[in-house]
A and B are shown apart, each in its own frame.
Chain A
Amino acid sequence: MAVRGNLEDSENRHETAGPEKLKQVGRSYPLHDAEAKATGRIRYTGDMSLQGMLCARILFSPLPHARIRRIDAAGALALPGVYGVFTHENTPDVLYNSQVWYAGQEALKDERLFPDTVRYIGDRVAAVVAANEQTAAKALGLIKVDYEELPAVFEAEQALRTDVPVPALAPWASPFFSKEISVGHVDECFEAPDAVVIEDRVETPKIHHAALEPHVCVAYPDHNGKITVLTPCQILYSVRLVVATVLGLPFNKVRVLKTPMGGSFGGKQEVTLEPLAAFFALATGRPVKIQLTRHESIISTRTRTKTIGYVRTAWDKAGNLLARDLKTVIDTGAYTSNGAIIGMAMGKKAFRLYRIPNQRYRTESVHTNTPVAGAARGYGSPQIHAITEINIDHAARRLGIDPVKLRLRNLVRPGDLDAGGGPPLGQAQIIACVAEGAKAFGWAQRRDAPHGTGRFRRGAGMACATHSNGYFGGFQDFTTMTLRMLEDGSMILNSGIQDLGCGTVTSMKQIIAEVMAISPDRIEAPEGDTETSPYDVGSQASRVTHVAGACALHTAGKLKEKLCREAAKLLECAPDEVILQSERIRSAAHPEKDCSYGEMVSLIQEKNRTEIIITETFQAQDNPGSYGADFVEVEVDTWTGLVRVVEVLAVHDVGRAINPGFVRGQIYGGVQMGIGYALTEDIAVDPVSGRAKGDRFSRYHLVNMPDMPPVRVILIEKGGDLGPFGAKSIGEIATCPTAPAVVNAVNQALGTNLETLPLTPERILRALACQ
């Protein structure tokens, strides 16, 4: 495949050029597997067929809460082609938590392969493993289940009520987790006589990640008791941990391989099908595939948390944000998953965007009899920013101050510390994002333009957001990589990376290529294999480019040192006199004795009896904020309640774009998700039946191409933090400012204060009717 730099690369990028002239970093190479994907040659997990492979299908609970009295599988077992029926009676009762990513991590463990009491519509009752899908499906219909229905609760705040009895869902009472972070003197600020207090209750919906590829997994046993799991996931080592724990196997008897990713967005950041497939493979002695339908993926895997946010801010008349009091109620659904730590992830963001001297954040997580929430692009960040940024605009309206000016007055500045005690913010360039964005968007003109008085009203809104760059400051964060140069000068990176389709593989190649003066094409960077690759935390926490990328940079640096050291012996010069250029190597003193990398590596092997290989562990040492600001114009049809997003400008402080094409791709997709979050996407669990209304794409509305507005992107690249070449994360923050910016624009157009997402036509008309 020909690789080309993108001509647009220099456009809309505000760089403070580093001293070095970069050759590979900063160019838009295509994804390493783009051509295979576009031509259909790639083999996704669903395409895989192994000799003797069986198919499993799962029976999902039709009831929101019920004790299983009896399961009669005789009919299913009698069907020819059925190899096994699995229920709570014949599977391990080991409890696990699907989101732990390291051994020894504390988390409530409340999930098992098949529970004896189902807790939501979509919980696992049984599974059939059969020769083919058709037989498995038919057998599912023959399983008879006798349920004893139990009372259920579908709304988080209902679960928290103390005045009425609430059904005990889990061994833990509601809330099962609560915590507070507090700085300064919050209550005093609200009592100050001249404080302007702005109060909101914002609700964000449960949404589906909507990856093109529904959840899928293949597992197969071997003759030595080892289970291999093929899965398109983000967290290979978590899969190993949970599968080994549930099956009672040593870690080295569970091999997990990352398969090509057909989309995840956090949906495959938790262990869902893998322990089932592994167990079935072990039990039947055959390869087993489990592939969910869209409907099953929506109801039975993971969602974004439904979150209710109470936010109060105190301001002085000039628009200084004196204090903020925040509370979130997090509906994590029927099992705990990340229900505890996501509340904290939300809270931490609240201390890293504005300079707020007095702030309190409280969070409570509850279980409900609804689909399980978990990781979802932004990991709480879209939720908390929707809550806080809608409130900032509300304040701007009440104070009579332009929202951009109000924000510029209060936003954090480069070098600021985290008032909440987290890692320093680093080169936090949010002011540059807002200032550049306002100019490029024509904010002042658009904001002041008449809204119109007829059927269609126009409005402009904006919002800001911050996100992390790894786990530093919270959890251990490190990566190990092994890099080699082969006898023909080509290279192999052996690491635990997991490309989610964002371009991790190519980005790592570009970073290494930059250091080694080699073409990225000459590097192989396969994705992780828990048996052979060094450990990696996973493609999560927006850590991959910043932390794993830094590991690639350091490893390449060490490899280059070694190459120079060994070559120096042969070139009879000092190591620092060795010059690497365009895949050729020479000494400064004798440039005519120049040879290819391959010739040199071969010579080193022959004469120096060693290999050009390095294994390096990199520990993250910073966790700066990534920042972004979205500017949005909308047109609202006040008669039908439909909103058209007219244009979006997204400005992101990414430190340095390793591959600007990938960065823009992340932003376009993030904006698409953000608009859906603001306007249309909702699993919408019925408060009476507990059934998800948005349980299929005909009733769950993504923003599709005809509804996508033009999206302009500006990148702020001022570097300065410890990522490779100054790079910071983009994958998650890309979606964080969009939804509140859209909501703020709608509220400006209509003069409303809509704060329950999504802003469906029904909600918009209701708000207009109340005016």
Chain B
Amino acid sequence: MMHKFRMACPDSVAETLELLAGMEGEIAYLGGGTDLVPQMQDGRRQPDWVVDLSQIPELACIRFDGERIRLGSTATFTQIAGSALIEEQGRCLAQAAGQVGSVQIRNRATLGGNIASASPAGDSLPVLLALDAKLTVLGPAGERRISFERFQIEPGEGLRRGELIAGIDFAAGSRGHTGDGRHVPADKSDFSAGGRHPIRVSAFGKIGSRQSVTIAKLNMAAFLEMEPGEGIVVKSRLALGALGRHPFRLRNVEEEMRGRRLDDSLIVDVTKRLQEVVDGAIPGRYSQTYKRQAIRGLAADVFGDLQQQVSVEKASSSNGPDQGGGKEEQEIGC
């Protein structure tokens, strides 16, 4: 029942940009089609051109360049969820990817499509905030790099006509790497606590109406950097989704967490603050009552996961830092 449209299947980014010049009317990029195809089927979207990005190898890779983890926009959630590199360097992204839709959906759905669709409940979005990810956007006017947070909220910074998301990158987050991706050998750490490297952990959680194939009623991602000795939070990024048009960072809460230990009393305090955030985000909405209660479960899941990771990291950090990547086996499609 779809209306008529024209389709292009370029093999490279360069070819895509060339083709763009000759296209008139509305252009829609096709990733996995899990959002676009149903929308075209029921007529909500009627693009004149559909440009398939799935045949462009350079957009499908997942790699580590020594500093940052770089994902092509057409990396599928199956690839991301199964990537040892992502699991190691940005665990919350692997977790979120593994909870998108069903196996069949994950086999097709792409990270770029999730970003461009910009659903309030999109599962990768709070993750990209927690990882402070940057996007590479290409279009008729050339290339621009922009933080995902600005891309999301600033007027005019979203996708413009003909623009496509080419890549997503974030600082490698495993132990043994600094927040900005520089490798820090254990003995030269600039952290005072026994000269040991910081611990970085991240986690994602989601509450839907069932275990899987469910749109989030709430989702949350957290990234923590901890000083290893006393387990003090040095830095954190916390983001909540499905509470308004876009997921958002909780900078106040992040600030309050700084300098505290990741113990149960912190979780209790954070939970209280999260409930206030819910109240502030959707006051008077029917779902407010439920979400303010359920966020307690979500916080327990996410912070419980972080606590567990920290204890595992602590146990293994006495054996010296991991050497990062294991590059060859972990990279996909490059």
Contacts and interface: CB of A to CB of B under 8 A. Distances in A.
B3 A134 contact: yes
Nearest to B102: A704
A703 B212 CA distance: 10
Given A133-B1, A640-B298, A680 B290 contact: no
A762 B288 CA distance: 10
Given A704-B213, A765-B290, A455 B297 contact: yes
A641 B294 contact: yes
Contact of A704 (B1, B212, B294): B212
B43 A698 contact: no
A363 to B, nearest CB: 32
A711 interface: no
Interface in B197-235: 207, 209-215
Query: Taking each of A640, A706, A766, which has the highest tally of chain B beta carbons within 10 Å of its own beta carbon?
Result: A640
Nearest to B217: A761
Nearest to B1: A133
B55 interface: no
A293 B41 CA distance: 11
A701 interface: yes
Nearest to A57: B1
Interface string A426-438: 0000000000000
A523 to B, nearest CB: 38
A641 B294 CA distance: 7
B323 interface: no
Interface in B286-300: 289-290, 293-294, 296-298, 300
A703 to B, nearest CB: 7
A642 interface: yes
B43 A137 contact: yes
Nearest to B271: A639
Interface string B69-110: 000000000000000000000000000000000100000000
Contacts of B43: 137
A704 B298 contact: no
Query: Taking each of A642, A644, A766, which has the highest tally of chain B beta carbons within 10 Å of its own beta carbon?
Result: A642
B153 interface: no
B175 to A, nearest CB: 30
Interface in B275-329: 289-290, 293-294, 296-298, 300
Nearest to B213: A704
Contacts of A701: 209-210, 214
A137 B41 CA distance: 11
A644 B289 CA distance: 22
Interface residues of A, number: 24
Interface residues of B, number: 22
A703 B209 CA distance: 10
B19 interface: no
B210 A680 contact: yes
Contact of A707 (B207, B211, B290): B211
Interface in B21-37: none
A639 B296 contact: yes
A703 B214 CA distance: 11
Contact of B210 (A293, A707, A765, A769): A707
A706 B211 contact: yes
B266 interface: no
Interface in A752-771: 760-762, 765-766, 769
B210 A762 contact: no
A641 B290 contact: yes
B193 interface: no
Contacts of B290: 641, 761-762, 765
A639 B210 contact: no
B2 interface: yes
Contacts of B212: 704, 706-707
A707 B207 CA distance: 14
Nearest to B294: A640
A353 B212 CA distance: 37
Contact of A703 (B3, B210, B297, B298): B210
A766 B288 CA distance: 12
Interface in A694-729: 698, 701, 703-704, 706-707
A680 B209 CA distance: 8
A761 B294 CA distance: 9
Contacts of A455: 297, 300
Contact of B1 (A134, A637, A761): A134
A771 to B, nearest CB: 13
A639 B209 contact: no
A637 B304 CA distance: 15
Given A455-B300, A762-B290, A765-B293, A640 B3 contact: no
B163 to A, nearest CB: 28
Contacts of A703: 210
Contacts of A133: 1
Interface string A82-117: 000000000000000000000000000000000000
Interface in A424-455: 455
Interface of B: 1-3, 42-43, 102, 207, 209-215, 289-290, 293-294, 296-298, 300
Interface of A: 133-134, 137, 293, 455, 637, 639-642, 644, 680, 698, 701, 703-704, 706-707, 760-762, 765-766, 769
Given A137-B43, A642-B207, 19 more contacts: A134-B1, A134-B3, A455-B300, A639-B293, A639-B296, A640-B293, A640-B294, A640-B298, A641-B293, A680-B209, A680-B210, A701-B209, A701-B210, A704-B212, A706-B213, A707-B210, A762-B290, A765-B293, A765-B294
9 contacts: A134-B2, A455-B300, A637-B297, A641-B290, A642-B210, A680-B209, A703-B210, A762-B290, A765-B290
CB-CB nearest 3 A-B residue pairs: A639-B297, A640-B297, A706-B212
